[in-house]
Amino acid sequence: MAIRDKLKTNASHLLDPGEPIQVVFPAKTMIPIGIASLYAIFGSIQRVVVVTDRRILVCKAGHFRPTQVKEIIFVLPRHMVIGPAHGLNYRTDSLGDDLYINRRFFKDVAAADAAIGSSPGE
């Protein structure tokens, strides 16, 4: 099962009835850089960003199982723009904390931003 499918399945218990997930992607609170990155690897905190048609949820994820979605940390309005993402690890502070999103998930950030105008509440 792909990581996005696992995240969607594991985040479904946090949603309101009838609230569909538009986009979901992982993020971290810091990125490992350089040789002394052992602290960054074990000190970084995993997050899962769940974008629905009504809101954006920033959720706590498991440290050793990053696809495990535990609880909601921040709830943000759906009109919030996350990107445009660039670089190797995009840093954004628009999601409540400074979060780093890996290049692999830039298309998810772009899809979340593109879906803002198509949300029913807009």
pLDDT in tens, 74-112: 999 999 999 899 999 999 999 988 899 999 999 999 999
Whole-number Å distance between alpha carbons of 42 and 36: 12
pLDDT level of residue 39 (50, 70, 90 thresholds): low
Domains and CATH numbers, the chain: 3-114 (2.30.29)
CA-atom Rg of the chain in angstroms = 14
Instruction: For the beta carbon of residue 51, count every other beta carbon within 10 angstroms.
Output: 25
Task: List strand residue ranges (DSSP E) for 29-106, in order.
Answer: 46-52, 55-61, 69-77, 89-95, 97-102
pLDDT winner (highest mean) among 15-29, 34-48, 59-73: 15-29
Q: Considering the entire predicted model, what is its pTM?
A: 0.85
Mean pLDDT of all residues in the chain?
86
pLDDT level of residue 120 (50, 70, 90 thresholds): low
